[in-house]
Chains A and B, each alone.
Chain A
Amino acid sequence: RKEVEQDPGPFNVPEGATVAFNCTYSNSASQSFFWYRQDCRKEPKLLMSVYSSGNEDGRFTAQLNRASQYISLLIRDSKLSDSATYLCVVYTGGFKTIFGAGTRLFVKA
Protein backbone atom coordinates (compact mmCIF):
# COMPACT_ATOMS: atom_id res chain seq x y z
CA ARG A 1 0.00 0.00 0.00
CA LYS A 2 1.30 3.45 -0.90
CA GLU A 3 1.87 5.83 1.98
CA VAL A 4 -0.19 8.51 0.26
CA GLU A 5 -2.87 7.51 -2.22
CA GLN A 6 -4.86 9.65 -4.60
CA ASP A 7 -7.35 8.90 -7.33
CA PRO A 8 -5.32 9.65 -10.48
CA GLY A 9 -8.39 10.79 -12.40
CA PRO A 10 -8.63 12.48 -14.75
CA PHE A 11 -11.59 14.47 -13.56
CA ASN A 12 -13.29 16.19 -16.48
CA VAL A 13 -15.68 18.92 -15.36
CA PRO A 14 -17.40 21.89 -17.02
CA GLU A 15 -16.63 25.45 -16.02
CA GLY A 16 -18.55 26.46 -12.93
CA ALA A 17 -18.73 22.94 -11.52
CA THR A 18 -17.75 21.90 -8.02
CA VAL A 19 -15.20 19.11 -7.81
CA ALA A 20 -13.68 17.30 -4.84
CA PHE A 21 -10.52 15.25 -4.48
CA ASN A 22 -9.67 12.90 -1.67
CA CYS A 23 -6.33 11.64 -0.48
CA THR A 24 -5.63 8.93 2.09
CA TYR A 25 -2.45 8.48 4.11
CA SER A 26 -1.22 5.48 6.03
CA ASN A 27 0.92 6.95 8.81
CA SER A 28 -1.30 7.93 11.72
CA ALA A 29 1.56 9.99 13.18
CA SER A 30 1.67 12.33 10.17
CA GLN A 31 2.11 15.89 11.31
CA SER A 32 1.22 18.31 8.56
CA PHE A 33 -0.59 18.27 5.28
CA PHE A 34 -0.59 20.28 2.08
CA TRP A 35 -2.05 20.50 -1.38
CA TYR A 36 0.29 21.43 -4.20
CA ARG A 37 -0.65 22.26 -7.75
CA GLN A 38 1.43 21.17 -10.73
CA ASP A 39 0.76 22.49 -14.21
CA CYS A 40 1.75 20.39 -17.20
CA ARG A 41 5.54 20.17 -17.52
CA LYS A 42 6.03 22.64 -14.67
CA GLU A 43 7.21 22.46 -11.09
CA PRO A 44 4.86 21.84 -8.12
CA LYS A 45 3.71 24.94 -6.25
CA LEU A 46 1.99 25.17 -2.90
CA LEU A 47 -1.76 25.65 -3.20
CA MET A 48 -2.65 25.56 0.48
CA SER A 49 -1.84 24.00 3.80
CA VAL A 50 -4.48 21.81 5.43
CA TYR A 51 -5.44 22.48 9.03
CA SER A 52 -7.35 20.25 11.43
CA SER A 53 -10.25 22.66 11.62
CA GLY A 54 -10.48 22.93 7.85
CA ASN A 55 -9.53 26.02 5.91
CA GLU A 56 -10.67 27.99 2.93
CA ASP A 57 -8.87 30.13 0.40
CA GLY A 58 -11.27 31.73 -2.03
CA ARG A 59 -12.87 28.95 -4.08
CA PHE A 60 -10.71 26.27 -2.46
CA THR A 61 -11.56 24.42 0.75
CA ALA A 62 -9.31 21.86 2.40
CA GLN A 63 -10.38 19.41 5.09
CA LEU A 64 -8.47 16.98 7.27
CA ASN A 65 -9.97 13.92 8.91
CA ARG A 66 -7.35 12.43 11.23
CA ALA A 67 -9.60 9.63 12.47
CA SER A 68 -10.10 8.30 8.94
CA GLN A 69 -6.71 9.49 7.74
CA TYR A 70 -7.80 11.40 4.72
CA ILE A 71 -7.53 14.89 3.30
CA SER A 72 -9.87 16.51 0.85
CA LEU A 73 -9.77 19.46 -1.52
CA LEU A 74 -12.96 21.08 -2.79
CA ILE A 75 -12.90 23.47 -5.72
CA ARG A 76 -16.03 25.56 -6.27
CA ASP A 77 -16.96 27.41 -9.45
CA SER A 78 -14.19 25.75 -11.47
CA LYS A 79 -12.26 27.89 -13.94
CA LEU A 80 -10.41 26.83 -17.05
CA SER A 81 -7.23 27.93 -15.28
CA ASP A 82 -7.81 25.33 -12.55
CA SER A 83 -6.82 22.60 -15.01
CA ALA A 84 -3.74 21.01 -13.46
CA THR A 85 -2.56 18.07 -11.39
CA TYR A 86 -3.19 18.37 -7.67
CA LEU A 87 -0.68 16.72 -5.36
CA CYS A 88 -1.51 15.62 -1.85
CA VAL A 89 1.53 16.06 0.40
CA VAL A 90 2.00 14.61 3.88
CA TYR A 91 4.83 15.44 6.27
CA THR A 92 5.48 12.54 8.63
CA GLY A 93 8.36 13.96 10.63
CA GLY A 94 12.12 14.33 10.36
CA PHE A 95 12.85 14.89 6.69
CA LYS A 96 10.14 12.63 5.39
CA THR A 97 7.65 14.39 3.17
CA ILE A 98 5.53 12.09 1.04
CA PHE A 99 4.07 13.29 -2.25
CA GLY A 100 1.04 11.60 -3.74
CA ALA A 101 1.09 10.78 -7.44
CA GLY A 102 -1.49 13.46 -8.12
CA THR A 103 -5.03 13.87 -9.40
CA ARG A 104 -5.46 15.36 -12.85
CA LEU A 105 -8.23 17.89 -13.39
CA PHE A 106 -9.48 19.15 -16.75
CA VAL A 107 -11.95 22.00 -16.72
CA LYS A 108 -13.78 22.45 -20.04
CA ALA A 109 -15.60 25.44 -21.44
Chain B
Amino acid sequence: NAGVTQTPKFRVLKTGQSMTLLCAQDMNHEYMYWYRQDPGMGLRLIHYSVGEGTTAKGEVPDGYNVSRLKKQNFLLGLESAAPSQTSVYFCASSGVPGQGQAFFGQGTRLTVV
Protein backbone atom coordinates (compact mmCIF):
# COMPACT_ATOMS: atom_id res chain seq x y z
CA ASN B 1 0.00 0.00 0.00
CA ALA B 2 1.34 3.41 -0.97
CA GLY B 3 -0.47 5.36 1.79
CA VAL B 4 0.67 8.98 1.48
CA THR B 5 3.21 9.89 -1.17
CA GLN B 6 5.04 13.22 -1.39
CA THR B 7 7.16 14.59 -4.19
CA PRO B 8 9.85 15.76 -4.39
CA LYS B 9 11.85 14.40 -1.45
CA PHE B 10 14.56 17.05 -1.67
CA ARG B 11 14.76 20.48 -3.27
CA VAL B 12 17.03 23.50 -3.20
CA LEU B 13 15.51 26.81 -4.26
CA LYS B 14 16.91 30.27 -4.68
CA THR B 15 15.20 33.12 -2.88
CA GLY B 16 12.25 34.31 -4.93
CA GLN B 17 11.75 31.10 -6.88
CA SER B 18 8.47 29.23 -6.77
CA MET B 19 7.66 25.56 -6.47
CA THR B 20 4.82 23.14 -5.79
CA LEU B 21 4.94 20.18 -3.44
CA LEU B 22 2.67 17.30 -4.40
CA CYS B 23 0.86 15.00 -2.00
CA ALA B 24 -1.25 11.99 -2.92
CA GLN B 25 -3.12 9.55 -0.69
CA ASP B 26 -4.87 6.33 -1.59
CA MET B 27 -6.85 5.78 1.62
CA ASN B 28 -9.93 7.76 0.57
CA HIS B 29 -9.42 10.19 3.47
CA GLU B 30 -11.42 13.39 3.49
CA TYR B 31 -8.92 15.29 5.63
CA MET B 32 -5.49 16.30 4.44
CA TYR B 33 -2.84 18.53 5.98
CA TRP B 34 0.47 20.23 5.29
CA TYR B 35 2.92 20.66 8.17
CA ARG B 36 6.39 22.03 8.51
CA GLN B 37 8.91 20.70 11.02
CA ASP B 38 11.80 22.81 12.28
CA PRO B 39 14.48 21.90 14.83
CA GLY B 40 13.29 22.20 18.42
CA MET B 41 9.71 22.78 17.37
CA GLY B 42 6.78 20.49 16.92
CA LEU B 43 5.04 20.00 13.62
CA ARG B 44 3.19 23.19 12.75
CA LEU B 45 0.10 23.17 10.58
CA ILE B 46 0.35 25.30 7.44
CA HIS B 47 -2.96 24.57 5.69
CA TYR B 48 -5.51 21.82 5.76
CA SER B 49 -8.47 20.53 3.77
CA VAL B 50 -11.68 18.88 4.87
CA GLY B 51 -12.59 17.60 1.44
CA GLU B 52 -12.28 18.05 -2.29
CA GLY B 53 -12.42 21.69 -3.27
CA THR B 54 -11.96 23.01 0.28
CA THR B 55 -8.92 24.50 2.00
CA ALA B 56 -8.32 26.41 5.22
CA LYS B 57 -5.46 28.18 6.97
CA GLY B 58 -3.56 26.57 9.77
CA GLU B 59 -1.13 28.01 12.28
CA VAL B 60 1.55 29.29 9.87
CA PRO B 61 -0.07 29.92 6.45
CA ASP B 62 1.80 33.03 5.33
CA GLY B 63 3.84 32.56 2.17
CA TYR B 64 2.03 29.35 1.17
CA ASN B 65 -0.99 28.46 -0.91
CA VAL B 66 -2.77 25.16 -1.36
CA SER B 67 -5.26 23.48 -3.63
CA ARG B 68 -7.34 20.33 -3.42
CA LEU B 69 -8.85 19.81 -6.84
CA LYS B 70 -9.13 16.06 -6.38
CA LYS B 71 -9.88 14.19 -3.18
CA GLN B 72 -6.67 12.21 -3.31
CA ASN B 73 -4.33 15.14 -3.99
CA PHE B 74 -3.28 18.14 -1.89
CA LEU B 75 -0.80 20.60 -3.36
CA LEU B 76 1.34 23.10 -1.45
CA GLY B 77 2.73 26.09 -3.33
CA LEU B 78 5.46 28.55 -2.49
CA GLU B 79 5.06 31.58 -4.73
CA SER B 80 8.25 33.40 -3.75
CA ALA B 81 10.52 31.29 -1.58
CA ALA B 82 12.33 32.86 1.38
CA PRO B 83 15.16 31.45 3.53
CA SER B 84 12.70 31.29 6.46
CA GLN B 85 10.84 28.60 4.52
CA THR B 86 13.81 26.24 4.75
CA SER B 87 12.27 23.31 6.56
CA VAL B 88 11.04 19.74 6.31
CA TYR B 89 7.50 19.58 4.96
CA PHE B 90 5.13 16.74 5.72
CA CYS B 91 1.81 15.99 4.16
CA ALA B 92 -0.69 13.93 6.13
CA SER B 93 -4.17 12.52 5.75
CA SER B 94 -6.65 11.18 8.26
CA GLY B 95 -10.15 10.12 8.95
CA VAL B 96 -12.13 12.18 11.46
CA PRO B 97 -9.61 14.34 13.37
CA GLY B 98 -8.82 13.18 16.87
CA GLN B 99 -10.39 9.76 16.44
CA GLY B 100 -7.53 7.89 14.88
CA GLN B 101 -4.14 8.19 13.46
CA ALA B 102 -2.87 10.56 10.85
CA PHE B 103 -0.76 9.03 8.09
CA PHE B 104 2.24 11.00 6.96
CA GLY B 105 4.18 11.17 3.75
CA GLN B 106 7.95 10.69 3.78
CA GLY B 107 8.65 14.41 3.89
CA THR B 108 10.23 16.99 1.61
CA ARG B 109 13.49 18.61 2.67
CA LEU B 110 13.49 22.11 1.26
CA THR B 111 16.42 24.49 1.42
CA VAL B 112 16.05 28.09 0.28
CA VAL B 113 19.33 29.88 -0.35
Q: Which residues of chain A have a CB within 8 Å of any CB of chain B?
A: 2, 4, 8, 31-32, 34, 41-46, 87, 91, 93-95, 97-102
Interface size range on B against A: 20 to 34
Taking CB atoms, residues of chain A closer than 8 Å to B98 are: 31-32, 91, 93, 97
Q: C-beta contact mask, B54-65 vs A, less than 8 Å → 1, else 0?
A: 001010000000
One of A43, A46, A94, A95 near B90 (C-beta < 8 A)? A43
One of A46, A87, A99 near B101 (C-beta < 8 A)? A46
The reply to whether B41 and A101 contact each other, CB–CB distance below 8 Å, is yes
Binds A, one of B14-22, B43-51, B77-85: B43-51
Q: Which residues of chain B have a CB within 8 Å of any CB of chain A?
A: 31, 35, 40-45, 48, 50, 56, 58, 90, 97-99, 101-102, 104-107
The distance from the CB of A97 to the nearest CB of chain B, in whole angstroms, is 6
The distance from the CB of A88 to the nearest CB of chain B, in whole angstroms, is 9
The reply to whether A102 and B42 contact each other, CB–CB distance below 8 Å, is yes
One of B41, B56, B104 near A43 (C-beta < 8 A)? B104
**Given the complex of chains A and B, what is the CA–CA distance between A32 and B102 in angstroms?**
13
Whether A95 contacts B50 in the complex (CB less than 8 A), given A42-B107, A43-B104, A43-B105, comes out as yes
Taking CB atoms, residues of chain B closer than 8 Å to A44 are: 43, 90, 104
**Given the complex of chains A and B, what is the CA–CA distance between A95 and B58 in angstroms?**
9
The distance from the CB of B12 to the nearest CB of chain A, in whole angstroms, is 17
Smallest CB gap from A92: residue in B: B98
